[in-house]
Structure 1
Amino acid sequence: MPKDANGIELNSGDNVSVIKDLKVKGASTTLKRGTTIKNIKLTAKDNEIEARVDKFGTLVLKTEFLKKI
């Protein structure tokens, strides 16, 4: 099971928050700290999740930069 930055297990459909400003490849802006991401999906890799983010579309994010809300 994937775990967030605090070691809490993540499940599909969870809501998470970004804990650090992240540069997004192919985008001119950054994903700001504190951004809430709703309804995440788990991927085959334990350290990654997939999510739809406003203004960015679908992104794959590393769980070490997220915390469960």
Structure 2
Amino acid sequence: MDVKDSNGNILKDGDSVVLIKDLKVRGSSATLKRGTVVKNIRLTDDETEIEGKVDRTMMVLRTEFLKKS
């Protein structure tokens, strides 16, 4: 299974990605800002989602809003 970012680059475990859009966090009033770097990502069973730590919180992010850094 190939996991690709918004530009079509293949992502692997341990890569760093950058958010390309401001994202609201469900269940919280927080917003993740464009340009935020997510380091050391982990791939999930779904090719459209990855896991990564943002501000010491593990979050699931959609790959359509990420680009490889």
Q: Is TM (by shorter chain) over 0.5? A: yes
Q: TM-score, normalised by structure 2?
A: 0.95
Question: Percent same amino acid at aligned positions?
Answer: 59
Q: Where in structure 2 are there 5+ consecutive unaligned residues?
A: none
Moved over 3 A (4+): none
Q: Where in structure 1 are there 5+ consecutive unaligned residues?
A: none
Offset at residue 27 of structure 1 (A) = 1.7
Length, aligned pairs only: 68
The residue type equivalent to 1:22 in the other structure is: L
Q: TM-score, normalised by structure 1?
A: 0.95
- Greater fraction strand: 2
CA RMSD of aligned residues (A): 0.8
Match of 2:10 in 1: 9
